C-alpha cells in the first residue's frame, strides 16, 4: 500500500498483482470451515487475523490502475465484494517447465506402474506385485482448512486408505489431532525443500487438491508440467480442464473425489491419456506466453 501511495504521488502507472482470492472472501470461508471442522482449526484460522489485512488489500485496489488476477475466480471475488472489477485483468501463470524432464525421459503412468511391479526397477522394488501397487496419489500444499484437508481425509476414507498409496507434502497448519488423523491414513511428509518436489511429482500418478479457495494454485501448474493429471475444485483457479487433463469437482465433495479416483483406477488408458494431455496443456503456459499476456493486460 505504501509503494502504491508513493507511486500515485509521483504520477506513475500502478499495477497490483492479486495473487490470491480477496482476503475478506477467504475470511468468510474460514469462519464456515472452522465451524464445520472445529477439531481441525487453529488460531491462524480466526477471522481476526484476516480482517485487518482485508481492509488494507481493499485500499490497495483503489490505489491501483490495474489489478492482475491469476484466474477468473480471483477476478470474480473482487467483483462480488464490490471492488473495482473494471481494473481487473486475468493472466494465468506460467508452468514451471524447469521441473519437467526432457520429452524422451517422460515416464507414463503405465511405465510407473510397471516399475512398481518390479519389471523395470531396482532390486529393492522387485518384490512388489501389480495387485499391491495401486495408484500413487499426492497432495501438495499447506495443510490447512483453506486447502480442504478435512475433505481430503474423507475422500481417503471413502476410496480406501489401503487401496492406494497416499502422500501428503507441505507444512502443517492444522491441529495436532487432525494431523494425527491424516497420518493414520496417509504418508505425511511435512514441509520439504522445493528442490525435492520434482521427486514427489515423479512418484505421483494423480494430484488431488480439494481446495476451498486459491488464487491460481501453483501445484496444479507444476503437476501438469510433470504429466500428472489433477483432481481439484473450481476455486483452485487452475488451468486444469475437466475430463481432459484432470477433473474439476465441487468444493466440499469428497465423494466426487473418490468417484473420480475410482474411474481412473479402473481405466488405465484414461489415466495415460490424461497424463499426456496434462503435459501438452502445460506447454501452452510458458514464461514467454505469460509475458505477452501480462504486457497486454497492463496496456489495455
Most confident of 20-29, 123-132, 242-251: 242-251
CB neighbourhood size of 109 (10 A):
25
Q: 3-class SS at 50? A: coil
pLDDT single digits (tens) 43-70? 776 767 778 889 999 999 999 999 999 9
Above pLDDT 70, what percent of the chain? 87
Least confident of 82-86, 97-101, 180-184, 251-255: 97-101
Where is pLDDT greater, at 110 or 160?
A: 160
Inform me whether the pLDDT recorded for 292 exceeds 80. yes
- The per-residue pLDDT for 115 is 52
Pairing of strands 136-140, 165-169: parallel
φ, ψ of residue 137 to 5 degrees: the values are -115, 125
Which residue in the block uniquely carries the three cell numbers 494423480? Answer: 206
Inform me whether the pLDDT recorded for 117 exceeds 70. no
User: Model confidence at 109, in pLDDT bands (50, 70, 90)?
Assistant: low
φ, ψ of residue 122 to 5 degrees: the values are -80, 175
DSSP 290: H
User: Model confidence at 123, in pLDDT bands (50, 70, 90)?
Assistant: very low
- The per-residue pLDDT for 211 is 98
- The candidate with the shortest Cα–Cα distance to 136, out of 275, 251, 276, 249, is 275
- The per-residue pLDDT for 44 is 72
Q: Do residues 203 and 227 touch, judged by C-beta distance below 8 A?
A: no
pLDDT single digits (tens) 1-46? 999 999 999 999 999 999 999 999 998 888 899 999 999 988 776 7
- The candidate with the shortest Cα–Cα distance to 113, out of 94, 128, 95, is 128
- The per-residue pLDDT for 49 is 73
- The per-residue pLDDT for 112 is 57
- The candidate with the shortest Cα–Cα distance to 227, out of 128, 44, 100, 134, is 100
Give alpha helix (H) positions in the chain: 2-9, 23-36, 51-63, 72-80, 109-116, 130-133, 149-159, 176-183, 197-203, 218-225, 254-266, 268-282, 287-299
DSSP 167: E
- The per-residue pLDDT for 42 is 86
Give alpha helix (H) positions in 86-228: 109-116, 130-133, 149-159, 176-183, 197-203, 218-225
- The per-residue pLDDT for 165 is 97
Where is pLDDT greater, at 222 or 99?
A: 222
Q: Which residues contact 274 (CB under 8 A, 6 or more apart)?
A: 229, 244, 245, 246, 264
Alpha-carbon span 30 to 44, nearest angstrom = 10
Inform me whether the pLDDT recorded for 185 exceeds 60. yes
- The per-residue pLDDT for 99 is 57
Inform me whether the pLDDT recorded for 108 exceeds 60. no
Amino acid at each position: 500500500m505504501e509503494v502504491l501511495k508513493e507511486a500515485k504521488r509521483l504520477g506513475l502507472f500502478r499495477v497490483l498483482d492479486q495473487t490470491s482470492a480477496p482476503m475478506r472472501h477467504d475470511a468468510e470461508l474460514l469462519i464456515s470451515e472452522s465451524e464445520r471442522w472445529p477439531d481441525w482449526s487453529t488460531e491462524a484460522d480466526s477471522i481476526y487475523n484476516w480482517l485487518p489485512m482485508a481492509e488494507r488489500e481493499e485500499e490497495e485496489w483503489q490505489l491501483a490502475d490495474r489489478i492482475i488476477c491469476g484466474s477468473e475466480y480471483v477476478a470474480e471475488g473482487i467483483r462480488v465484494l464490490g471492488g473495482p472489477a473494471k481494473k481487473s485483468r486475468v493472466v494465468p501463470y506460467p508452468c514451471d517447465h524447469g521441473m519437467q524432464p526432457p520429452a524422451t525421459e517422460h515416464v507414463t503412468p503405465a511405465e510407473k506402474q510397471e516399475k512398481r511391479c518390479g519389471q523395470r526397477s531396482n532390486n529393492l522394488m522387485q518384490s512388489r506385485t501389480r495387485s499391491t501397487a495401486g495408484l500413487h496419489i499426492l497432495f501438495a500444499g499447506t495443510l490447512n482448512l483453506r486447502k480442504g484437508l478435512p475433505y481430503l481425509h474423507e475422500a481417503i476414507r471413502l476410496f480406501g486408505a489401503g487401496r492406494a498409496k497416499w502422500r501428503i507434502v507441505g507444512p502443517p497448519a492444522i491441529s495436532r489431532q487432525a494431523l494425527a488423523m491424516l497420518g493414520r491414513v496417509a504418508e505425511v511428509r511435512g514441509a520439504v525443500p522445493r528442490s525435492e518436489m520434482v521427486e514427489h511429482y515423479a512418484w505421483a500418478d494423480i494430484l488431488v487438491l480439494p481446495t476451498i479457495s486459491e488464487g491460481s494454485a501453483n501445484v496444479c501448474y507444476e503437476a501438469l508440467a510433470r504429466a500428472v493429471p489433477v483432481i481439484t475444485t473450481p476455486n483452485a483457479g487452475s488451468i486444469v480442464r475437466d475430463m481432459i487433463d484432470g477433473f474439476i469437482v465441487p468444493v466440499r465433495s469428497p465423494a466426487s473425489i473418490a468417484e473420480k479416483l475410482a474411474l481412473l483406477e479402473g481405466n488405465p488408458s484414461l489415466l495415460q491419456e490424461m497424463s499426456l494431455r496434462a503435459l501438452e496443456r502445460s506447454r501452452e503456459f510458458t514464461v514467454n506466453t505469460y509475458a505477452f499476456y501480462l504486457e497486454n493486460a497492463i496496456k489495455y
